[in-house]
Amino acid sequence: RHTNFQNVKTRDEQVKGNGKTATTLITADDALWCALQFERGEALLNFVTGARHDPGWTINAYGALGTLVIKSGELLGRRDGDLHLEPLAIPKRLEQNEKPNDPLMWGMVKLFERVAAKILSGESLPFPDFCDGVAVAQMIDAIKRASDAREWIQV
């Protein structure tokens, strides 16, 4: 399988028995990126890796009139024709007055609150079931097929 991350880094290791050092290539087979297009036209470019590198998180929104970027909790914007992104004030209606203040933690808290509400209302099961596992397997298979075929795969 082809990977865009073939030469991530090397590591020196002691070779057993002879006291010499050998260089080992570390590949990024535990990383993937995929582009998804949803039925209504929305798109997602997702990068996933098991290697910790703490780059922060970014959400970008592009439109005909400009660009919005949320980068690790900071809001930036650029109108069509502007050269640079500029910091924007977060509107009062979107300010986070509650704890936790860490944007990553806040997002997880809100996600858990929504999931818990669905479980309590009976709309959702508390744990993934077999059908959820099949859906995940189908998505992973589609990503692999799209990579091999170099084309969009309908899921």
pLDDT tens digit sequence for 79-124: 988 999 999 887 776 666 665 555 556 666 777 788 888 888 888 7
Mean pLDDT value of segment 131-154: 88
pLDDT of residue 105: 61
Residues contacting 24, CB < 8 A, separation 6+: 10, 11, 12, 13
Cβ-based burial of 98 (10 A; exposed 0-12, middle 13-18, buried ≥19): exposed
Local confidence band at 155 (pLDDT 50, 70, 90 cut-offs) = confident
Return the closest-CA partner of residue 74 out of 85, 63, 82, 66: 85
Whether the predicted model's global pTM rises above the 0.75 cut: no
Q: What is the pLDDT of residues 42-85, one digit of tens each?
A: 888 877 766 655 566 778 888 889 998 888 778 899 998 899 99
Residue 38 has pLDDT above 90, yes or no: no
CA 46 to chain centre: 5
Q: Are 22 and 15 in contact (CB under 8 A)?
A: yes
In whole angstroms, how far apart are CA 101 and each of 73, 75, 104, 122?
10, 15, 9, 30
Using an 8 Å Cβ cutoff, are 87 and 75 in contact? yes
| Distance, CA of 39 to CA of 142 (rounded, Å) | 16
